[in-house]
Each structure stands twice: as structure tokens, then as C-alpha cells.
Amino acid sequence: MRGLADAERLRRFLRELAREADADVAVYLTGGATAVLLGWRESTIDADILIVPEQDSLYRALPRLKEELQLNVEIASPAHFIPELPEWRERSLPIERVGRVSYYHYDPYSQALAKIERGHAKDLADVAQLLARGLWNRSGSGSCSGPSSRGSTAIRQSIPRRSGSGWTTRCVRDPSPRARCCSRSTSSPWA
């Protein structure tokens, strides 16, 4: 029986999976893997990933890596529970690049909606953590303009964020650990 995955086991999986890539690819982590790597859970029962574009070499390596690392790995994303949201890739949070693989946390908006849809207690606790850590905001305005972003409490930080033209910044309304963030995009799944 495979054990629970802690942050070290997940990081080892990411390193080993990257060795198998034969072309540039993005791997999106979601669910428990996001919770563990961002620090609000100690472990998860599996690593949910999405490989974009699909790459046979990575899929072929998964059974071996699962056994070697005693890790449950599932091909899963929020789009398996809810309709795929526009601009989910742009809202995904970069983790690191290892070799030819760029790792991301799948879009927090999508993760939250999928967890709300499932409605399990652990999922709802994860949604609360996503909000508390400022990975999405309650209003979901998706805009850094407006009354709440004026004045001394609104600051701009260079937080790595992928866009079609490279890296952008996000508006951070409050620099405290409970900061609410939003993208500069004008579209929002919460509108």
C-alpha cells in the first residue's frame, strides 16, 4: 500500500518526472498536492496532475514512478469537476522549472470552484485556506482598479504570473499574510 505524500516526496516526484520529459511541457498540480506544497497540509493521499500538452514519455513513466516513490498519482484537474474556466492557465501559479518541465499550481479560482462543487469538508477547508492565503479574492473582481485599490493600502508587487507576453504583476491590496490578490485581467469567473 502506498503511503501519504509529504512535501519532500512530492518534490522528489517532480524532479524524477522532469527527467522523463523529451520536450517542453507544463505540469499543473492541484488539490492535495497544492495544499501540501503551499504549506497548509502536512500530507495528501495522492498527487493530482495535468500534463499540457500531453506527452507520452511522461505518461509512460508514471507507473514506474508510482511504484518507486510509493506515491499515488492521478491525472485530474478542476476541469474534471466543473467546466474549464477561461484564462485558467494565466491564473495558474508557477512553482518551478525543472529541465524541460514547468510546474504550476492549477488556477486557484478553478480549484476553489471544483472544491465547492464537491463539497467535502476537507475541500471546503482548502477553499478557506486559498482565500486566507490571498490566492483569490472574495469579490473576484479580477481588476486592480476601483476604490479598494486606491490609497496607501494598495501596492504592486512583482509576483511571478504567466501571461501570453511573459511575466506580469498582481495587485496586492494589503501586504499582511491575509492579503487579497487579484489579477490585472478584466474578466473573472466570479463576475
**Segments making up each domain of the chain, as ranges:** 7-132, 137-191
Question: In the prediction, which pLDDT does 157 show?
Answer: 32
Average pLDDT value for residue range 12-30: 98
Q: Are strands 73-75 and 47-52 parallel, antiparallel or unpaired?
A: parallel
More confident residue, 187 or 93: 93
* pTM greater than 0.75 (yes/no): no
Out of 27-31, 43-47, 73-77, 177-181, pick the least confident. 177-181
Contact 5, 36 (CB under 8 A): yes
**Residue 121 confidence (pLDDT) above 80:** yes
Phi, psi at 185, each rounded to 5°: -65, 150
Question: In the prediction, which pLDDT does 74 show?
Answer: 97
- Please, which pLDDT band fits residue 3 given cuts at 50, 70 and 90? confident
- Please, which pLDDT band fits residue 136 given cuts at 50, 70 and 90? confident
Average pLDDT value for residue range 21-36: 97
**Residue 158 confidence (pLDDT) above 90:** no
Task: Locate the DSSP E strands across 31-100.
Answer: 47-52, 73-75, 93-98
For the segment 51-97, what is each residue's pLDDT rounded down to a tens digit? 999 999 999 999 999 999 999 999 999 999 999 999 999 999 999 99
**Residue 178 confidence (pLDDT) above 90:** no
List, in order, residues 6 or more apart from 151 with CB less than 8 Å away.
Answer: none
**CA 10 to mean position of chain CA atoms:** 14
Q: Please report, for residues 13, 17, 39, 135, the alpha-carbon distance to residue 170 in angstroms, rounded to integers and kept in the order given.
A: 30, 30, 21, 11
More confident residue, 153 or 41: 41
The mean pLDDT value of the chain amounts to: 78
Contact 98, 174 (CB under 8 A): no
CA distance 108 to 106: 6
Q: DSSP secondary-structure letter at 83? A: P
List, in order, residues 6 or more apart from 176 with CB less than 8 Å away.
Answer: none
CA nearest to 177, candidates 50, 44, 70, 40: 40
Contact 140, 127 (CB under 8 A): no
